[in-house]
């Protein structure tokens, strides 16, 4: 790609970013606003807050001959007006069903290419009310710019608290665990009276090694031959336009209800949300297919994990990082109707606890970067695509603020991130 500009080279694109570029994965983030769109105010906010805060928002991807054709990020001048889209929708469709009008328009974005001669992001403004908001703004950007965690962090860092406009929105309290997912227990004293504790400490390392070997073998088998059964969640590839079209639907849950279940079942918020998603997709499957309610279908999911070492969330918000820093866990995902709805949460708690005693999540990003570095972007992307096509669903999380915020002068009612370009369905939780 060649574009005319008078910019200077910043840095080469990371292996993960090159993989996202090759696969064509993009992020779509829907934001419901609590007020009608004041376009001049929002535009000024984009220019002063977002574009200046994240280098990728004023950079383009170019091929540099001095680096043997590897893409690099290059600074360029940004005209914010080129990144603002105000679509013209049928007034009758908007009046009859505004939610469906928003969903139809956002789904159409998955079929539209992005202009690669300018930074790969754009804002779409839908200035009509829905059941959850007064207006809707859709941010679409290429995944090579950053992951959902870095993008939502950018938006929070560019916002102000509704309670106090002089400060950033407050973030949830930091998690108890601030280190890696697997944290071995402390070694007990070397004395005869503590021999059982010492044996348990040694045994924990055997369990760690065994789980890591099993998880690694499953990942390799998935890339080579092990594939999930075909269900309605995996669309048959016909190499046509319909095979690339994605639909984006969001639902809001009461966080107080989620915390109540978390406390009662002694699990994590992530366990509750995975269980709720499993229950919803199971009910959807049996309602759409009419299969026997006693049928059980074993599928697998890829749970994306933020690999950034963060001590507190508030300090992370104040230092927005660039790029993608992701790892993943491959977890079972069963389609089944349970008599007890809480059994979905218990199942999620079991397999997530099991995954915490494995180092596979630490090896995944390292191996991925090595594949791209030593075998080339084509080979690395082929392997990633094989893994994605052999699994069914992607889970991802993004941490939002603990209070209402105002972005670019507009109160935000909700944010709903998602992605397209991957072969599986995606479930993103904020």
Q: CA triplet 174, 17, 303: central angle to 5 degrees? A: 45
The residue behind tokens 């940004």 is 78
- Residue 143 is a catalytic residue: yes
For 25-47, give the DSSP string.
-EEEEEEEESS---HHHHHHHII
Instruction: Retrieve residue 234's tokens.
Output: 């995996």
CA-derived radius of gyration, the chain: 23
User: How many residues comprise the chain?
Assistant: 430
Locate the DSSP E strands across 235-346.
297-306, 326-335
The residue behind tokens 């996202």 is 20
Q: Considering Cα of 247, then 29, then 13, then 362, what sign does the dihedral take?
A: negative
CB 391, CB 302: distance < 8 Å: yes
Tell me how far apart the alpha carbons of residues 291 and 187 are, in angstroms, rounded to a whole number. 52
The residue behind tokens 């560019």 is 158
8-state DSSP, 158: T
Catalytic residue among 58, 124, 142, 143: 143
Instruction: Retrieve residue 395's tokens.
Output: 């889970």
Residues annotated as catalytic (active site), given as ranges: 143
């Amino acid at each position: 790609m060649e574009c005319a500009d008078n910019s200077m080279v910043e840095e080469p694109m990371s292996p993960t970013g090159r993989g996202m570029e090759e696969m064509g994965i993009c992020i779509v983030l829907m934001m419901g606003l609590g007020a009608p769109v004041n376009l001049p105010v929002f535009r000024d906010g984009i220019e002063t807050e977002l574009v200046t805060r994240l280098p990728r928002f004023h950079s383009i991807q170019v091929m540099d001959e001095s680096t043997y054709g590897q893409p690099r990020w290059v600074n360029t001048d940004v005209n914010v007006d080129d990144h603002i889209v105000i679509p013209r929708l049928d007034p009758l469709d908007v009046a009859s069903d505004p939610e469906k009008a928003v969903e139809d328009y956002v789904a159409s974005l998955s079929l539209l290419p992005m202009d690669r001669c300018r930074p790969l992001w754009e804002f779409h403004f839908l200035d009509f009310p829905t059941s959850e908001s007064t207006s809707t703004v859709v941010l679409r950007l290429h995944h090579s710019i950053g992951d959902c965690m870095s993008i939502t962090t950018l938006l929070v860092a560019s916002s102000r608290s509704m309670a106090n406009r002089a400060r950033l929105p407050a973030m949830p309290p930091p998690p108890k665990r601030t280190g890696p997912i697997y944290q071995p227990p402390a070694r007990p004293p070397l004395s005869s009276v503590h021999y059982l504790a010492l044996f348990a400490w040694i045994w924990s390392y055997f369990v760690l090694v065994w789980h890591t070997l099993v998880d690694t073998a499953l990942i390799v088998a998935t890339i080579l031959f092990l594939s999930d059964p075909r269900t309605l969640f995996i669309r048959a590839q016909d190499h046509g336009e319909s095979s690339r079209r994605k639909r984006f639907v969001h639902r809001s849950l009461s966080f107080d209800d989620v915390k109540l279940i978390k406390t009662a079942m002694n699990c994590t918020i992530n366990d509750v949300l995975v269980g709720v998603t499993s229950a919803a997709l199971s009910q959807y499957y049996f309602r759409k297919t009419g299969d026997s309610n006693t049928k059980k279908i074993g599928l697998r999911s890829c749970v994306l994990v933020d690999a950034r070492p963060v001590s507190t969330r508030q300090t992370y918000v104040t230092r927005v990082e660039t790029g993608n820093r992701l790892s993943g866990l491959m977890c079972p995902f069963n389609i089944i109707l349970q008599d007890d709805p809480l059994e979905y949460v218990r199942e999620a708690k079991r397999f997530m606890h099991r995954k915490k005693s494995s180092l596979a999540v630490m090896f995944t990003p390292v191996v991925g970067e090595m594949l791209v570095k030593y075998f080339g972007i084509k080979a690395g992307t082929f392997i990633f695509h094989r893994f994605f096509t052999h699994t069914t669903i992607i889970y991802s999380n993004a941490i939002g603020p603990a209070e209402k915020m105002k972005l670019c002068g507009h109160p935000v009612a909700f944010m709903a991130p998602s992605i397209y370009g991957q072969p599986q369905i995606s479930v993103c939780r904020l």
